[in-house]
Structure 1
Amino acid sequence: MNKTLVAFALAAALPFAAHAAEYQQIQTDKSAINFVYKQMGVSMDGHFRKFAAQLSFDPAKPAAAKAILDVDLASVDAGSSDADQEIAGKQWFNTKAFPTAHFESGSVKALGNNRYEVAGKLTIKGRTQDIVAPATFTPQGNSGVFDGSFTLRRGDFAIGEGGWSAFDIVANDIQVKFRITASSTARSTATSGK
């Protein structure tokens, strides 16, 4: 009787063990990086049109996950062409000297219920800061969606210099929201040696 139960348990677990999924292929058309800030107390938002991401995420091994993100700062969309040019200019992003923002994860901690804590280093305008971003992961067929957000302080990155370095008109805190959609590649754990 015990052998039957063991065989049944192994048979039930086998499909999950044999077809683990790893999410690596970013679907940029289904991904987004948005931001929200306050200008004179009024909430404003925008997004970036261009970014590149590298991802390696296996839900069974979250601690081994790796994420790298490069954002084209000149692709900012703040609602008008005048605002876009201002933000890309020298006092704000200074995209001629610093064309990209770079994030690289250092650790991913599973919190349970498809919630994670992603810690890493964010570099903007040559300045690097540690950030921690809570994120959720939602499998959707052959894809997975990572949603998360974190708050950066623009003063830490010299975003807004000269007369803009004070926070009376544009607040210091900027909330960054991201959605990264990636497709999975099923792999056989029996032959991978992992």
Structure 2
Amino acid sequence: MKRLFVLCALCGLSAAASAATWTIAPGSTLDFDTSFEQAPLHGKFEHFSGRITLDPKHPNACSFDVTINPGSAKTGNPTGDTQIRSTPFFDIAHYPQAIYRATQCRWNGKGPIEVLGTLTLRGVSKAVPLHAELHNDGKTATLDAQATVNRLDFGVGQGQWASASIISKTVTIKAHLLLMH
């Protein structure tokens, strides 16, 4: 049975922790929030995976390598789910993956983490910082992260959908990642 990694430094134990590389475990969530015609729109990506490395001894060095399947986006509306996969939005026929990569963090080894990374979506790569928090209760490790992006920076919502009066330009992305060592 796979075990979840216990990060000793965050538990207040005196043992020195070393770099830990985790995989994102089943049960993790990756959600997005925006608005459509001024009403809240919530969605989630059902398929994503990745590896995360954090080292409390060297807290500014980190590694995030996360792959997202935009075709797995669900909004709770079958018509919307079909539309979001189409050419004006994620264009999954040409861009079946989105990737988030980071190699630098601003962190003091505990508390909030600012992850400096790049999101590649629809063939466009842009800097997207994540604000994250690593949690450990002695039995499990989780990472909660949030970022805000302008969807138009990545070409998401073209043509009639480019208007912010229909769909907000701002999209908030929230992740709750269960980490497995």
TM-score under structure 2 length normalisation? 0.86
2:161 equivalent in structure 1: 164
* 2:142/2:178 contact within 8 Å kept: yes
- Say if 2:122 is the partner of 1:125: yes
Query: Runs ≥4 in structure 1, deviation > 4 angstroms?
Result: none
TM-score under structure 1 length normalisation? 0.81
- Say if 2:94 is the partner of 1:78: no
State which structure, 1 or 2, has the greater radius of gyration over its C-alpha atoms. 1
- Offset at residue 132 of structure 1 (A): 1.0
* 2:105/2:113 contact within 8 Å kept: yes
Residue in structure 2 matching 1:146, options 112, 125, 143: 143
The size of the alignment, in residue pairs, is: 170
Mark the CA change 1:69 to 1:14 in structure 2 (over 3 Å): closer, same or farther.
closer
Between the aligned partners of 1:89 and 1:14, the Cα distance in structure 2 is 50
1:188 equivalent in structure 2: none
- 1:105-155 deviation digits (Å, cap 9, x = unpaired): 031111575211001111110111111111111013343111111110011
Between the aligned partners of 1:129 and 1:143, the Cα distance in structure 2 is 32
Between the aligned partners of 2:127 and 2:160, the Cα distance in structure 1 is 26
Unaligned runs of 5+ in 1: 1-12, 185-194
2:44 equivalent in structure 1: 47
Q: Identity of paired residues, percent?
A: 23
1:89 alignment partner AA: S
- Offset at residue 58 of structure 1 (A): 2.5
Between the aligned partners of 1:61 and 1:140, the Cα distance in structure 2 is 22
Residue in structure 2 matching 1:25, options 23, 26, 50: 23
Mark the CA change 1:92 to 1:14 in structure 2 (over 3 Å): closer, same or farther.
closer
Residue in structure 2 matching 1:155, options 152, 156, 161: 152
SS state at 1:132 partner: strand
Between the aligned partners of 1:51 and 1:14, the Cα distance in structure 2 is 33
SS state at 1:141 partner: coil
